[in-house]
Structure 1
Amino acid sequence: EELDDIIVYYLELGDFNYADMAVTYGLKLHPNSLDIKIKKLEVLLEWEDYNTAKEMIDELKGSSMENTDFLVCYAKYYSNLGNPRKSIDICKKALELNEEENFLNNFIADEYVNLGDPFNALKHYQQALKEDPTDEYSLENAMICFSDLNKSEEAIAFLNDYLDNFAYSEVAWSEYGQYYFNRKNYEEAIKGFDYMLAINSSAVGVYASKAACYEALNQYKKAVEVYEEMLELEYTKAFTFYKIGLCYKALKQPTVALNYFQKSLREDPQFYMAMMEQSYLYEEMGGMPEALHFAREATLLNDGNLDYQKRLAFLFIDSGKFEESLSCLKKLVDAEPSRFYNWYAYTE
């Protein structure tokens, strides 16, 4: 049992070399142990040594078809080789042993996903959730299946029923908020995100989702308040400063917006999105040299962005720097040879 625990520890840690060393040592002490041989099979599958794994499966099949761990390895072998139907058949046989039902139903569901069958995948994710109602993986994937099946009414009914029984589930409230966000019911989405933040006030990503709802409702001041709460929790703040800047830009407060874009750049001097926004603001405020400077810096950092190349070309032309604009226009006609206006600008 101690050897088994050590092997399992290294397998869960993902340290397969040490797991193999423990298996080898275990087989020296107990050469006929089925449990240790099955752990050896797990290691072989992790190493993708399928020829040796098949030999071991053939050796163990006669004595281990009532062993759940073996059947999981057997199913994984076919899954890894791209045969999900065979994998599903083996998992269903394992389910007859009434062990690891949650894991096995998730395994089967994942294989149905690989087959492009969200209907059957959903049934098994829901079954997995019955076996372990706290399984976040099953819940998230069940919602994905509902989405793939375009069953929005069934999805929210399922989610509400789940929340009636597990009102403190962070994942469920996050899914609730996201469900309504995707349907542009931002007020209801905010309710879901607020419930989740009441459960876990340090969930940084939820603040961003809540702020995005306020932005969609054009309630930019409330969005700024949420982003400011978010700043207190973040280690890297560049993107949040940038988002606050966009809110103030929408509120027609360019000076305040510019200040936040500058804060964003102090946090991350290579954040080209903040650079380009500064370029737009300087242009609005009549500062064309500054607009050109920040557009050039942003484009250097994101050379493949055609919108940036077009803007930079325009600013060069506006400044009378026609030679400099040619490098941008050349990239545009190379990337979009069928667009008339690229050639027209290049010709001019």
Structure 2
Amino acid sequence: MEEEFEFGFTEDPKFSVERYEEMIRNHDQYFFDAQAFENIIDYYIEKNDPAKALQVAEYAINQHPFAAVFLIKQAQLLAITNHTGAAFAALDKAAMLEASDADIYIIRGNMYESMERYAEALENYEKALDLAEETDEILLHIAYVYQNMGDYETSITYLKLCLKQNMENQDALYELAFCYDVLDNQEESVQFYQQYIDTEPYSYAAWYNLGNAFTKLGLFEKAIDAYDYAILIKDSFASAYFNKGNALVNLEKYAEAIEVYRHTFEYEQPNADTYCAIGECYEKLEQMDDARAFYKKSVKMDPKLADAWFGIGVTLDFEERYFEALHFYKKALDIDLTNADYWFAIADAEYKLGHIQEAEDAYEKVVELNPMDIDAWLDYSSILYEQQRLTGAIEIISQAIKNNPEAAELYYRMVAYLFAKGEYNEALNYLELALSADPEKHYILFDYLPQLQENKVILDIINRYSK
């Protein structure tokens, strides 16, 4: 007959684990009280060993058949290990023993949520809200469900309730920023975080999210102030340094941005995005060797980062090494085929290399992907104009105007092409349209066809609009 030992709750949790493992080794049968079993299960959960934790739960249920807590633990572990049916069954048993335990409904809600059965998830979370003492995490889960259902307004309501319960809930702070972002409601986001900071001035997460909202509104100076507060409260906050660097880039303060980006390396491992951002700053400062060195570090770390490959191309293009630049532009394009900027750079490099057909094809792609790119339309038509293909150039500008009816530059260019083709009346019609759109830009016409500066009819029309 096996000997049975009893171990009580007074013992050290580590001792409980040791005695449990000894029991398994010896194939003995020891008795543990409920608290000791909970400690052992928690130990294996923390060790990320759900299989062993489940085994302990089985022992616990056998020794304490009327303790709902072990059925709840079992359900949790079964859910983690994707045994959903068995998890639901364990929860049903637990509910028969202790229907007022909020954890039953939280776990059930979690499972329904992951199964995308949102109505049932909400029903269980609402039950849990009535039973639980601390409800901020439940409110957060309800907010997640509404997000998954695409109802961001309701999600915001629950996130605010969550923060009312627990001002320290970081996840709720970040999720709130996400919801405002999706709704493109940065003004309300700023308002919320400013009010929140009035109550919790030392919340680095709130200052950080406020900085992000200001950034999205284009208020970069204010964003930098907010990031500075976040960094002041938590000086190891790498993301705040990174976003502050981005804000400085938007203000064209590239040298300062480089310093700030470098700060992130003190608090987290260097990553490809930061190397790429530093490379871009050096590029803007026209320090191409430094730029290229950082772009190369970036692609070495992440060969799938298209912007870094593209950056290497830009530095070579700047040095008029167009053939090499093209190679790197195409590497970027392989990763991101629908990036209009990459196609534009390729078109320009092909043109500079004298590959006219390839340049045309690439410009065709740019305007297909981004019909609002005025410069691309102008450059595309320019290639045709240079080859005396005036009808083609006019057709391209005509398409451009259809897509960008407000762009005065396109009308002025059309005037130049129509004059060059000898279609004077049509040219004068377009000149009127160009001057109506923006009389200040009439110099574009003379840049393209300097001889028109001698044309009295044109000068009279321009003077009429300029006055």
TM-score normalised per structure 1: 0.79
SS class of match (1:235) = coil
- Aligned: 1:65 with 2:118: no
Q: Relative contact order: is structure 1 or structure 2 higher (C-alpha 8 Å, sep ≥ 6)?
A: 1
Partner of residue 296, structure 2:
265
Aligned residues of 1:237 and 1:264 also touching (Cα < 8 A): no
Partner of residue 161, structure 1:
195
Q: Distance in 1 between matches of 2:239 and 2:124?
A: 39
Q: CA offsets, 1:10-46, max 9 Å, x none?
A: 3455432122122122223323322111111112222
| Structure-to-structure mapping, 1:164-203, within 5 angstroms | 164-203=198-237
Partner of residue 256, structure 2:
222
Q: Distance in 2 between matches of 1:25 and 1:305?
A: 55
Aligned residues of 2:186 and 2:216 also touching (Cα < 8 A): no
Percent sequence identity over aligned pairs: 23
Q: Distance in 1 between matches of 2:169 and 2:129?
A: 18
Counterpart residue type for residue 257 of structure 1? M
Match of 1:113 among 106, 130, 147: 147
**Cα distance change of structure 1 residues 144 and 31 upon mapping to structure 2, 3 Å threshold:** same
Match of 2:330 among 283, 286, 299: 299
| Structure-to-structure mapping, 1:311-330, within 5 angstroms | 311=345, 315=349, 319=353
Partner of residue 30, structure 2:
none
Match of 1:23 among 52, 57, 61: 57
**Cα distance change of structure 1 residues 277 and 267 upon mapping to structure 2, 3 Å threshold:** closer
**Cα distance change of structure 1 residues 29 and 46 upon mapping to structure 2, 3 Å threshold:** same
**Cα distance change of structure 1 residues 300 and 213 upon mapping to structure 2, 3 Å threshold:** closer
SS class of match (2:334) = coil
Partner of residue 80, structure 1:
114
**Cα distance change of structure 1 residues 125 and 315 upon mapping to structure 2, 3 Å threshold:** closer
Q: Distance in 1 between matches of 2:275 and 2:96?
A: 63
With 229-238 and 133-142 compared, the bigger mean Cα shift is at 229-238
With 311-320 and 166-175 compared, the bigger mean Cα shift is at 311-320
TM-fit CA distance, 1:132 = 1.7
Match of 1:90 among 111, 124, 137: 124
- Aligned: 1:277 with 2:311: yes
Partner of residue 126, structure 1:
160
TM-fit CA distance, 1:181 = 0.5
TM-fit CA distance, 1:185 = 0.7
Match of 1:244 among 266, 271, 278: 278
Q: CA offsets, 1:145-188, max 9 Å, x none?
A: 34445554443332122212221111101101001001001111
With 126-135 and 75-84 compared, the bigger mean Cα shift is at 75-84
How many residue pairs match? The answer is 331
**Cα distance change of structure 1 residues 83 and 148 upon mapping to structure 2, 3 Å threshold:** same
Counterpart residue type for residue 145 of structure 2? E
- Aligned: 1:145 with 2:179: yes
TM-fit CA distance, 1:198 = 0.9
Q: Distance in 2 between matches of 1:305 and 1:105?
A: 39
Aligned residues of 2:72 and 2:103 also touching (Cα < 8 A): yes
**Cα distance change of structure 1 residues 40 and 284 upon mapping to structure 2, 3 Å threshold:** closer
Q: Distance in 2 between matches of 1:263 and 1:147?
A: 31
Q: Distance in 2 between matches of 1:314 and 1:146?
A: 39
Q: Distance in 2 between matches of 1:58 and 1:233?
A: 47
Q: Distance in 1 between matches of 2:44 and 2:112?
A: 23
Counterpart residue type for residue 198 of structure 2? D
Q: Distance in 2 between matches of 1:232 and 1:116?
A: 39
SS class of match (1:283) = helix
TM-fit CA distance, 1:263 = 4.2
TM-fit CA distance, 1:279 = 3.2
Partner of residue 24, structure 2:
none
Partner of residue 46, structure 1:
80
TM-fit CA distance, 1:316 = 6.2
TM-score normalised per structure 2: 0.61
Q: Distance in 2 between matches of 1:276 and 1:121?
A: 39
Counterpart residue type for residue 289 of structure 2? L
> Which of the two has higher C-alpha Rg?
2
| Structure-to-structure mapping, 1:328-347, within 5 angstroms | none
Q: Distance in 1 between matches of 2:220 and 2:90?
A: 55
Aligned residues of 1:248 and 1:257 also touching (Cα < 8 A): yes
Q: CA offsets, 1:273-326, max 9 Å, x none?
A: 44543433333333x3xx42353256347524446577557656755789xx79
**Cα distance change of structure 1 residues 205 and 56 upon mapping to structure 2, 3 Å threshold:** closer
Q: Distance in 1 between matches of 2:80 and 2:202?
A: 36
Aligned residues of 1:64 and 1:70 also touching (Cα < 8 A): no
Counterpart residue type for residue 334 of structure 2? D
Aligned residues of 1:273 and 1:298 also touching (Cα < 8 A): no
Aligned residues of 2:67 and 2:97 also touching (Cα < 8 A): no
With 55-64 and 202-211 compared, the bigger mean Cα shift is at 55-64
With 42-51 and 65-74 compared, the bigger mean Cα shift is at 42-51
SS class of match (1:31) = coil
**Cα distance change of structure 1 residues 149 and 29 upon mapping to structure 2, 3 Å threshold:** same
With 29-38 and 220-229 compared, the bigger mean Cα shift is at 220-229
